[in-house]
Amino acid sequence: MASDGTVTAPDGSGRQVKVITADDVVAYLKAHPDFFEKHAELAEMMGLVPRVQGPGVIDMQQAILKRLRGEIDRLKNERTEIIANSKQNQIVQNRIQAAVISIIQASTFEKMIHVVTHELPAGEEAFFGDIARFVKSDVLMRLRVSSGSPDGVMCFGSRDPQAFGPEQATELLFFLAKVLENTIRAWLDLPE
């Protein structure tokens, strides 16, 4: 391309042809705002402007398409969030099921305490000790083993700030707490 924006025509004639740039197209359309009205078939083919319907008729196609595209984007974002939450809930469900099985299978009270204190996820300075600085989200559950004993606390923590939150299903965590309460009560032969 020459410095004046021209190139040699590909037909072998040797003549110089000006290259049309995107800026040239924009300038032309600004100078001729009725171009697509005069070439409605081109505008319709490109989906650029509403079809001409006649005097006093408004084609809402573009407004509806814009709204629908926005709705599609919103639904895609919601779907992504739902899938992420479902995956996180599935991970929690699998961990809790494994924890319940480990608690129930412990052959002694000491082994059960070891499972709870060493094998279940740990997570707050008072609760998490040296790893507290890594905990970005947590959940604490009260353990009421017996009316004659003090309450306990079971806590879970995660480095992921979204791991535990108000949108998370907590039924499984409460189930785990109930299993642990009942198992401790049974091992220590305590009244409810």
At 31 the pLDDT is: 92
Structure tokens at 173: 């965590």
pLDDT beneath 70, residues of the chain: 1-3, 43, 47-60, 120-122, 124-127, 129, 167, 169
Residues 6+ apart with CB under 8 A from 36: 42, 43, 48, 49
At 163 the pLDDT is: 78
C-beta of residue 184 within 8 angstroms of C-beta of residue 145: yes
At 124 the pLDDT is: 47
Alpha carbons 81 and 35: distance in angstroms, whole number: 44
- CA angle, residues 156, 160, 163, in degrees to nearest 5: 55
At 76 the pLDDT is: 93
At 78 the pLDDT is: 92
Alpha carbons 147 and 30: distance in angstroms, whole number: 82
Quote the pTM value. Answer: 0.43
Structure tokens at 180: 């642990």
Write the pLDDT tens digit of every residue in 155-172. 888 888 877 777 676 788
